[in-house]
């Protein structure tokens, strides 16, 4: 099975959890896209709350009715991918630069399911560089403060501005992304708190105590993992 087969199997398993009438948070990335396609194929009467413009475009093109976050009275279930899934379903997200909208939608959801291929499961978070969303004004000064926060957590690493095609990546919110190649994050909660205390940091890709269930595509089938 390829990683993409595993992502597809996880996405289809998550789509099977959706019931008619639900409002569903729609994640971002290649795994979440499999979920959106499988959900659309079920032709249920549901509304989707997209976590990025890319997902909004995909879902609308497949005929899923969409709602803005603030127009949704409640979000019954959100399904999204992850870059790493650690112990207790602590996650790194934001590889697709959608971490802020993703976290807003996750936090507004009654239940959150993370879907992934098997390679995303790790014994400790941190091999995947941690994305940090930063306002553009004074972002190089903010990056120095982020370095200080990382040092306070014994992570001596300089965050790198994410670039694409020679230009800084802009999020859907007009912000920038710095990636911190920590290597290992033994205390994610302490790091999350340190990063949130830096003025200019909008949010970071540590999703802690948010996922209720992981559906992980493995060669033998889709495995359910609980926190
Ligand atoms: C986007 C994300 C994605 O969920 C994460 O990057 C995983 O992507 P993929 O499913 O393509 O591996 O957090 O911001």
Mean pLDDT, rounded, for 198-210 = 98
Mean pLDDT, rounded, for 81-97 = 98
SS3 82: coil
Query: Residue of the nearest CA to atom 1 in ligand 1?
Result: 96
Mutate to test the pocket of ligand 1, among 10, 27, 29 (most ligand atoms within 8 A of CB): 29
**Residue 27 Cβ contacting ligand 1 at under 6 Å:** yes
Q: Quick one: pLDDT at residue 6?
A: 98
According to the 3-state scheme, what is the secondary structure of 177-227? EEEECCCCCCCHHHHHHHHHCCCCEEEECEECCCCCEEEEEECCEEEEECC
Residue 227 has pLDDT above 90, yes or no: yes
Domains of the chain are 3-119+208-219 (3.40.50.1360), 130-203 (3.30.70.260)
| Whole-angstrom distance, CA of residue 34 vs CA of residue 115 | 10
**Residue 132 Cβ contacting ligand 1 at under 6 Å:** no
Q: Quick one: pLDDT at residue 50?
A: 98
**Residue 133 Cβ contacting ligand 1 at under 6 Å:** no
Burial of 8 (0-12, 13-18, 19+ CB in 10 A): buried
**Residue 48 Cβ contacting ligand 1 at under 6 Å:** no
Residue 19 falls in the annotated catalytic set? no
| Whole-angstrom distance, CA of residue 101 vs CA of residue 76 | 17
Separation of CA 42 and ligand 1 centre (Å): 23
Provide the pLDDT confidence category of residue 73 given band limits of 50, 70 and 90.
Answer: confident
| Whole-angstrom distance, CA of residue 155 vs CA of residue 134 | 19
Q: What is the pLDDT of residues 6-26, one digit of tens each?
A: 999 999 999 999 999 999 999
Do 46 and 22 meet the contact criterion of CB atoms below 8 Å apart?
yes
Whose CA is closest to 210, among 39, 78, 33, 20?
78
DSSP assignment string, 107-149: HTBS-EEEEEEGGGB-SSS-SSPEEEEE-STTHHHHHHHHHHH
Classify 71 in phi/psi space as left (phi over 0), alpha (psi -120 to 50) or beta: alpha
Separation of CA 97 and ligand 1 centre (Å): 8
SS3 40: helix
Average model confidence (pLDDT) across the chain: 98
Q: Quick one: pLDDT at residue 158?
A: 93
Residue 2 has pLDDT above 90, yes or no: yes
Mean pLDDT, rounded, for 86-107 = 98
| Whole-angstrom distance, CA of residue 10 vs CA of residue 12 | 5
Residue 156 has pLDDT above 90, yes or no: no
| Whole-angstrom distance, CA of residue 26 vs CA of residue 180 | 26
Mean pLDDT, rounded, for 176-187 = 98
Q: Which residues of 67-82 are buried (b: 16+ CB within 10 A; e: fewer)?
A: eeeeebeebbbbbbbb
Residue 93 has pLDDT above 90, yes or no: yes
Q: What is the pLDDT of residues 49-68, one digit of tens each?
A: 999 999 999 999 999 999 99
Separation of CA 30 and ligand 1 centre (Å): 7
| Whole-angstrom distance, CA of residue 150 vs CA of residue 180 | 9
**Residue 29 Cβ contacting ligand 1 at under 6 Å:** yes
Q: Quick one: pLDDT at residue 28?
A: 98
Mean pLDDT, rounded, for 134-160 = 97
Mean pLDDT, rounded, for 156-164 = 95
Residue 45 DSSP class: S
pTM of structure: 0.97
Selecting among 102, 152, 187, 226, the annotated active-site residue is 102
């Amino acid at each position: 099975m390829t990683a993409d087969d595993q992502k597809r199997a996880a996405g289809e398993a998550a789509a099977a959890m959706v019931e008619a009438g639900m409002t569903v948070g729609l994640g971002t990335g290649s795994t979440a896209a499999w979920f959106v396609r499988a959900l659309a194929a079920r032709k249920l009467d549901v509304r989707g709350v997209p976590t990025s413009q890319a997902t909004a475009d995909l879902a609308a093109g497949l005929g899923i009715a969409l709602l803005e976050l603030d127009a949704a009275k409640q979000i019954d279930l959100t399904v999204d991918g992850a870059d790493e899934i650690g112990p207790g379903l602590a996650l790194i997200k934001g590889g697709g630069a959608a971490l802020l909208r993703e976290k807003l939608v996750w936090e507004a959801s009654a239940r959150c399911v993370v879907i992934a291929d098997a390679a995303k499961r790790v014994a400790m978070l941190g091999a995947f560089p941690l994305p940090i969303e930063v306002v553009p004004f004074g972002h190089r000064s903010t990056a120095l403060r982020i370095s200080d926060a990382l040092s306070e957590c014994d992570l001596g690493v300089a965050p790198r501005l994410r670039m694409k095609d020679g230009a800084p990546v802009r999020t859907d919110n007009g912000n920038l992304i710095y990636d911190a190649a920590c290597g290992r994050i033994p205390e994610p909660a302490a790091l999350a708190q340190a990063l949130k205390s830096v003025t200019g940091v909008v949010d970071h890709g540590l999703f802690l105590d948010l996922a209720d269930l992981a559906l992980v595509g493995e060669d033998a089938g889709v495995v359910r993992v609980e926190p």
